[in-house]
Amino acid sequence: MNPTAQVQGNRMAVLLAAALFVAHAVLYWFTCDDAYISFRYSRHLAEGHGLVFNLGEDPPVEGYSNLLWVLLLAPFAKLGLSLAWCANLISVACGAVLVALCTRRAGLGAGLLLALCPALALWGSSGLETMPFALALLLCYERAQAGRFLAAGLYASAVLLLRVDGIAFALLVLACGGLKFGRRMLPALIAPGLCLTALLVFRTGYYGEWLPNTAFAKSELSSITLERGAKYLASFLLCFPAVPIGVLLATGLCWRQRRLDAGLALLVALATLAHGLLVGGDFMPMGRFFVPGLAFLALSLGLLLRARAVWLALLALSPLATLDVAPVPQSAREALHFRWNDPRWRSEKQQWSAMRQRSAEWLELGQALQRFTRPGETLVIGNIGAVGYASELFLYDQFGLVDREVARTTPAPRRVSAGHDKGVRPDYFFPRRPDYLGAWIGSAAAQPDPQQERMLRSLPGAPPLRLLRHPLEDGTDRVLNLWRLEWP
């Protein structure tokens, strides 16, 4: 093949893989509830209130773990644009670039493997920083391997600013460059070192803490978190058989071919798997914590694997979760159930569908609260994302993401879903005299759950409760239900 034809062929391969990814990501387009936490911080910053969740709270609480993502979205909030749309468009664009880079570096097989992967497609949107983080990590690795040390350091800075645990991943990919270039890699540490120093100075000066509050709200390492993390990893590997098969193939081929570059990429992929296990997993669908490692696995395979039949087999296995099928019986997957807050087992696609529906319902609830409550009123709630963003109420967070006291409680280890290890009962906030104890939208003919009502009325120190019902006036018979606490 002449050079011109080869260049054109490479361009076509890149465009094909990127376009396939975008189409796949649009199929999964959604905004998860947690993304609205970052959106609320971005909007408050754009409005001049600073990086705060609850207006008027002093000192403020760092209830996000993705500072750079919050800062990137603030200008769009200033322009009055939809942060959900802007965040998702940026995320899909980052995913397309990620797929394009892998295709150009490792071939069409690697690019198609990523484009067809449901995990990458699902987290191509979501409103979270997952895809920008994955892209920044890959760019940091690529620049480090190419000997572009200052550029690698800049991307490492982006990595540590996009996720609170990004510092560990940034150091890992820079260390991979150090194995190739030795001491010549030291200049790559300048930018992330300065960035980390500035971040710590800002964090301790503004929030009074050297770690974000989210780090304290998450559970500590224990046998329960390791069990949950192990089930999280095992469920992911069963749901995405191309991943464990790809890891085994890459490991064997690395050993046979003695390819350092492929081995280092595989090392990063394995590190993301280990990380997801050690932190106790995640309740969200399709292995969110493992997504950044997928590009490194595809990169490693693209550098090693030449057998077309094997590539075709991997590509056939990659999109199974989008079809909601798995190569193992459902009973085997149910045995690895790790979303312990919900006794019902769901497939990964079913979990995505449920999350998308809940997020839309909570956004509608927040919008209704904004109509029927007054600024400055307070609500005790566990799902603070979309409700908080749409309502702008002052929220008392039962799971401690934006509450210092809850985040520092030390409850007995419990079998709960990831991120819910430090939940507290509503009466925990009674000394703060909240205005509302619960809110939901339902039919005007429906009555409150009597069991829940008895539980709320029997909480220690509870004042009299009054149920407020506001018709939504949206052409339905639905009403906004609010439990009002009648403090003396």
Residue 297 has pLDDT above 50, yes or no: yes
Contact 276, 233 (CB under 8 A): yes
* Residue 8: band (very low, low, confident or very high) from pLDDT cuts 50, 70, 90: low
* Percent over 90 (pLDDT), the chain: 89
> Tokens at residue 326, please?
């798995």
Given this model, what pLDDT does residue 437 score? 93
What pLDDT sits at residue 484? 96
Q: What is the pLDDT of residues 239-256, one digit of tens each?
A: 999 999 999 999 999 999
Of 432, 431, 360, 424, nearest to 394 (Cα)? 432
pLDDT for residue 7 is more than 80:
no
pLDDT at 114 over 80: yes
Examine the pLDDT at 469 and tell me if it is beyond 60. yes
Residue 1's pLDDT band, with cuts at 50, 70 and 90, is very low
Summary mean pLDDT of the chain: 94
Length of the chain in terms of residues written: 488
Segments making up each domain of the chain, as ranges = 9-333, 351-485
pLDDT band, residue 9 (cuts 50/70/90): low
Using 50, 70 and 90 to split pLDDT, how confident is the model at 113? Answer: very high
Please choose, from the candidates 141, 152, 175, 126, the residue with its C-alpha nearest in 3D space to the C-alpha of residue 293. 141
Provide the CB-side half-sphere exposure for 211 (13 A, CA). 14
Structure confidence by residue, pLDDT tens digits, 181-226 = 999 999 999 999 999 999 999 999 999 999 999 999 986 788 999 9
Q: Provide the pairing of β-strand 478-485 with 465-471.
A: antiparallel
- Note the pLDDT of residue 406: 94
- Confidence tier at 352 by pLDDT (50, 70, 90): very high
Q: Is the pLDDT of residue 6 over 80?
A: no
Across the range 387-403, mean pLDDT stands at 96
pLDDT-above-70 percentage for the chain: 98
Nearest to 347 by CA among 383, 366, 323: 323
Alpha-carbon distance values, 217 to 100, 120, 366 (Å): 37, 27, 24
**In three state form, how does the secondary structure of the chain look?**
CCHHHHHHHHHHHHHHHHHHHHHHHHHCCCECCCHHHHHHHHHHHHCCCCCCCCCCCCCCCCCCCCHHHHHHHHHHHHCCCCHHHHHHHHHHHHHHHHHHHHHHHHCHHHHHHHHCCHHHHHCCCECCCHHHHHHHHHHHHHHHHCCCHHHHHHHHHHHHHHCCCHHHHHHHHHHHHHHHHHHHHHHHHHHHHHHHHHHHHHHHHHCCCCCCHHHHHCCCCCHHHHHHHHHHHHHHHHHCCHHHHHHHHHHHHHHHHCCHHHHHHHHHHHHHHHHHHHCCCCCCCCCHHHHHHHHHHHHHHHHHCCCHHHHHHHHHHCCHHHHCCCCCCHHHHHCCCCCCCCCCCCCHHHHHHHHHHHHHHHHHHHHHHHHHCCCCCEEEECCCHHHHHHHCCEEEECCCCCCHHHHCCCCCCCCCCCCCCCCCCHHHHHHHCCCEEEEEEEECCCCCCHHHHHHHHCCCCCCCEEEEEEECCCCCCEEEEEEEECCC
Is the pLDDT at 276 greater than 80, yes or no? yes
- β-strands 465-471, 394-397: how paired? unpaired
Each residue of 56-94: pLDDT tens digit? Answer: 999 999 999 999 999 999 999 999 999 999 999 999 999
* C-alpha 162 chain-centroid distance: 11
User: Nearest CA to 320 among 237, 249, 250, 247?
Assistant: 237
Q: What is the pLDDT of residue 266?
A: 97
